Amino acid sequence: MNGWDGTAGRVAGSADGRDGTAASGLLGRTATRSVEEVVRVEGVSRTFGRGEHAVHAVRDVSFTAMRGELLAVRGRSGAGKTTLLNMIGGLDRPDRGRVVVAGHDVTAAGEKELLRLRRGTVGFIFQTFGLVPILSAAENVGVPLRLAKVPAAEREERVAMLLELVGLGGHAAQRPYELSGGQQQRVAVARALANDPDLLIADEPTGQLDSETGRSIMDLLRAVVQARGTTILVATHDLNLIELADRALTLRDGRLVDG
Ligand SMILES: Nc1ncnc2c1ncn2[C@@H]1O[C@H](COP(=O)(O)OP(=O)(O)OP(=O)(O)O)[C@@H](O)[C@H]1O
Ligand SMILES: [Mg+2]
C-alpha cells in the first residue's frame, strides 16, 4: 500500500511500442528496498489423486527469489508450472514443504490470511487475462483497490497512474472486448500491480498473444521489475521470453532440474 507517490509516469511506452524503461516518478522505490528474499520455497510437493492414479505434479522443489528478480519457470506442458505457482500464491496448498512470501508463511496461513495475501502481497496475471467483461479498463484496474477499501479519490488517481504506467492512458473507458489481446493483458498487469504487491505471479501471460505482442508484455514486466523492485515469477515455455528473465528454473515431471 505504499511506494506510490502519485506521479504519473509510464514504464513501457505505447501499447505496441517497446521503448523500454523510462522509469520515473511513481516508479522509484527500488532504491528504498534493500536486497531481500521475497520467495522461499522449501521441499514443496503436491500430488493429485492417490494409488496407481496418483500424479506427482510437483516433487520436492526448493528455490528462493530475491526482491526485483524476474524469474522464469519453464518446462513442458504438464511439468508442474501452474501447480507450483498456485502453491506459491496461496491458491493451492502443498502436501509437503513450506512456502514463505515476503515474510508470510503461506503454507501455515489460515483462509483469512491467505485472502489478505492474495489481495495485497501477491498479484496474479493469467494467460486468459481474467478481466471482467462488463467493466471498463479503469474499473477493472480499480477492483483490487475497491476490495482494499481505498477511498474513491485516491482510487481514481491510482487507476489513472496504473493505466499510464502500462501505456494505456487513453483507453480507460474501453471495455475488454474493445481492446486488443495485448492491451487486455496490459490492463491485467495494471490490475495485478494495483495494491503494490511484493510478488507478481504470471502464468503463461503471453500464451494467447502473437510473439511480437508477447514480447512487449515481457518487456513491460521487465520494466516493472526494474523500476518498482517487484519480484516476478513467470511460467512460460516460450524460449524467446525466457531469455528476458534474470534466471530460469526448469521443471521436468515436477522436479527442478538444471538447465
Ligand atoms: N487439480 C488437478 N487434479 C488432478 N491433476 C492435476 C490437477 N492440476 C494439475 N494436475 C496434473 O498435474 C500435472 C502438472 O500440471 P500443471 O498444470 O502444473 O502443468 P503445467 O506445467 O502448468 O502445464 P501447462 O504448460 O500445460 O500449463 C499434470 O499432469 C496435470 O494433469
Ligand atoms: Mg500451466
Calpha distance 237→149 (Å, rounded): 37
Q: Give me the residues paired with residue 194 across strands.
A: none
Residue minimizing CA distance to atom 17 of ligand 1 = 82
Q: Is the CB of 79 under 6 A from ligand 1?
A: yes
pLDDT tens profile 21-49: 333 334 444 444 456 999 999 999 999 99
- Please, what is the average pLDDT of the chain? 86
Phi, then psi, of 202 in degrees rounded to 5: -120, 115
Predicted pLDDT of residue 140:
97
Predicted pLDDT of residue 20:
37
Predicted pLDDT of residue 4:
42
Q: DSSP class of residue 12?
A: S
Domains detected in the chain: 68-92+110-257 (3.40.50.300)
pLDDT tens profile 213-249: 888 888 899 988 888 899 999 999 888 788 889 999 9
Cβ contacts of 43-47, under 8 Å, gap ≥ 24: 43/96, 43/97, 43/98, 44/84, 44/87, 44/94, 44/96, 44/97, 44/98, 44/99, 45/94, 45/95, 45/96, 45/97, 45/254, 46/80, 46/83, 46/84, 46/87, 46/92, 46/94, 46/95, 46/254, 47/95
Find the ligand nearest to 61 CA: 1
| DSSP string for residues in 117-147 | IIIIIEEEEETT----TTS-HHHHHHHHHHH
> Percent of the chain at pLDDT above 70?
86
Predicted pLDDT of residue 29:
44
Residue minimizing CA distance to atom 16 of ligand 1 = 80
| Residue whose grid cell is 477511498 | 151
Grid coordinates standing for 25? 516518478
Predicted pLDDT of residue 1:
41
Provide CB contacts within 8 A for 197, sequence distance 6+: 120, 121, 122, 123, 230
Predicted pLDDT of residue 27:
44
Lowest-pLDDT range of 66-70, 93-97, 200-204, 238-242: 238-242
pLDDT tens profile 85-119: 999 999 999 999 999 999 999 999 999 999 888 88
Predicted pLDDT of residue 26:
43
Cβ pair 251, 74 in contact under 8 A: yes
**Radius of gyration of the CA atoms of the chain, in A:** 18
Judged against a pLDDT cut of 50, whether residue 10 lies above it is answered with no
Residue minimizing CA distance to atom 6 of ligand 1 = 48
Tell me the three state secondary structure of residue 33. coil
Tell me the three state secondary structure of residue 255. strand
pLDDT tens profile 118-138: 888 999 999 888 999 999 999
Predicted pLDDT of residue 238:
82
Grid coordinates standing for 202? 504470471
Q: How far is the CA of 82 from the centre of ligand 1 (A)?
A: 7
Q: Is the CB of 59 under 6 A from ligand 1?
A: no
Predicted pLDDT of residue 237:
84
Calpha distance 50→79 (Å, rounded): 18
Cβ pair 212, 12 in contact under 8 A: no
Provide CB contacts within 8 A for 64, sequence distance 6+: 37, 39, 40, 41
Predicted pLDDT of residue 197:
94
Predicted pLDDT of residue 159:
96
